[in-house]
Chains A and B, each alone.
Chain A
Amino acid sequence: MRMAELYPAERTIVLGTHHFTADDIIRYARQFDPQPFHVDAEAARNSLFGGLCASGWHTCAAWMKTFLAFWAAECLRLEREGKVPPRLGPAHGFRDLRWLKPVFAGDTITYSATLLETREQPSRPDRLIDTILCEGSNQHGEPVIRFESSVMEFV
């Protein structure tokens, strides 16, 4: 079945949560984004963020991790119901990413996905392009991230 049959457009699906520990934030940032407010709690307190916070790219990667855990369970559920899960391919990229608020050490982010649009590709009738709105909110209900991902679907 297709994504559009499974998830009606504009309906938001909660994927799950991800907890950001100080250790994880620092480990990620030392490798990829060693700015003081991502690697050093003391420096972060004196920065405009006011505390140790995750690299924005870490917040993105955790969306992916949370989505895949959801998706694995979802595929099992569909197979149990005798349905064929949609076959997703690689993403082409994303657009309109906004880091709306810092993700601080100790925050738990709830991630969601909303299918916005499915486009056919006249040159590749065996593939669709799905646009998925990806969002995350912290434990206070404040949105921290949003972006629109462009994902290949095989049909």
Chain B
Amino acid sequence: MLYFEDFPIGRRFDFPDRTMTAEEIIAFATEFDPQPMHLDEAAGRAGVLGGLAASGWHTSAVMMRMLCDSYIRMTAGEGSPGVNSMEWRRPVLAGDTLSGHCRVAEARISRSRPDIGIVRFIAEVTNQRGETVAVCDYANMIRVKATEAPADAHG
């Protein structure tokens, strides 16, 4: 299990690859973002995105899964207060293989809850050509190990 102390500034976590299929792009968009460029190849090609393109909210969700698989599932995490910024820099098109990494940008103990650390990360999602498709500046709340009490100490 990873604790606050395991997230020094600069520590990097690499994302697993994930190929975005037309089927999953259309399925996500049908439920949450039913705009023509996310539902139909021809409509996508005719628009500014240049092809059947994933909703930015789909790219965000896939990034979240990459964060889970690269560190969150192994971390004593307590969720996230929010996201400072998310930039959808390039379209994510059907067939693209996404990857990337995140890096610790800042780490501090919470003033109101000294058993919790607030770790700020910059995540960068890239495509198979190495182009950056999304950049996210966000924070996680992570428990401090030094203050973890043994399970039987709670009585």
Taking Cβ atoms with an 8 Å cutoff, the residues of A that contact B are 28, 31-35, 37, 48-49, 55-57, 60-62, 64-65, 68, 89-99, 147, 152
Contact = CB atoms under 8 A, between A and B. Distances in A.
Interface stretch (B6-14, B57-65, B94-102): B57-65
B81 interface: yes
Interface in B33-53: 33-35, 37, 48-49, 53
B109 interface: no
Given A32-B61, A35-B68, A61 B83 contact: no
A62 B32 contact: yes
B85 interface: yes
Give chain B's interface residue range (CB within 8 Å of chain A).
Answer: 20 to 34
Given A56-B80, A61-B33, A93-B56, A32 B65 contact: yes
Nearest to B75: A35
Interface in B55-109: 55-57, 60-62, 64-65, 68, 72-73, 77-88, 91
B23 interface: no
A28 B60 CA distance: 13
Give the interface SS of chain B, mostly helix, strand, loop or mixed.
mixed
Given A62-B32, A65-B31, A91 B56 contact: yes
Contacts of B85: 93-96
Contacts of B87: 92-93
Contacts of B78: 48
Contact of B48 (A62, A89, A94): A89
A96 B81 CA distance: 10
Contact of B32 (A34, A49, A64, A91): A64
Contact of A99 (B56, B57, B62, B81): B81
A37 B91 CA distance: 31
Q: Which of A34, A97, A99 has its CB near the most chain B CB atoms (within 10 A)?
A: A97
A65 B32 contact: yes
A68 B33 contact: yes
A31 B81 contact: no
Contact of A32 (B64, B81, B86, B134): B64
Contacts of B56: 90-91, 93
Nearest to A99: B82
A95 B138 CA distance: 10
A101 B96 CA distance: 34
Nearest to B69: A34
Contacts of B83: 94-95, 97, 147
